[in-house]
Amino acid sequence: MTEMLETVEVETGPQPDAAVVWLHGLGADGHDFEPLVPEMRWPGAPAMRFVFPHAPVRPVTINGGMPMRAWYDIVSLGTGRDHDQQGIADSVDQVARLVRRERQRGIAAGRIVLAGFSQGGAIALQAALRFPEKLAGLIALSTYLLLDHRLAAEAHEANLGLPVFVGHGTHDPMVPYRLGEQLAGRLRDLGCAVEWRSYAMPHSVCPEEVIDLAAWLRARLS
């Protein structure tokens, strides 16, 4: 069994009744999106727990084998994104354990959102679509779909209609814009309720996207 990931946790009030598990991108850590927590609040918002896990440190081939925080190894930015199937599977299992821990803490599955940016978004997608209980939603930022050929067989029926926010930059040099478009279309094919947003930005998050994210989260968790 894989180890429980170390996490950064921020609670917006006592006794949270909703949770967001948010995965960082390649080479970052759990603190990366922590500053956005205040932007995810709204008048009358419920108490929420934001869980930002640290990915394990591992060598990454596209970066010359340099060890860094990564959810799996990436061999190339082309067809090699899903080469490390064991690493992908291990990270999906670790993220699912974090979701189950929130369930054990008393938060209903329908009050849990999985979120991720870039490589973290790719793992959030894998974990959410395979989770056996209906989740509140999924946030997929500047990311792409891994192991598409296995998705139809492995996706759990509980989350085939999952609400998904997909945001992508039109000038993204790391994850081409077309991959975001393809992801949104594939999720719609599976029956997911996709909100697709594009922004004039590179491989990043912009203020407009943060505003849209907060509105989407409010619709899911109010």
Residue 42: inside a domain: yes
What's the chain's Rg over C-alpha atoms? 16
Residue type, 115: A
Residue 2: inside a domain: no
What pTM value is reported for the model? Answer: 0.96
Residue 36: inside a domain: yes
Give the pLDDT confidence score for residue 76 in this predicted structure.
84
Mean pLDDT confidence for 7-24: 98
Domain count, the chain: 1
- The mean pLDDT of the chain is 95
Tell me the residue range of the domain where 37 lies: 7-221
pLDDT tens digits for range 72-90: 999 887 766 888 999 999 9
Residue 41: inside a domain: yes
Strands 57-60 and 163-169: unpaired
**62, two tokens:** 């596209």
Output the CA–CA distances (angstroms, integers) from residue 29 to 17, 22, 34, 144, in the order listed: 25, 11, 10, 19
State percent of the chain over pLDDT 90: 90
Q: Could you give the residue numbers annotated as active site?
A: 118, 172, 203
Residue 1: inside a domain: no
CATH number of the domain that 87 lies in?
3.40.50.1820
Q: Are 12 and 48 in contact (CB under 8 A)?
A: yes
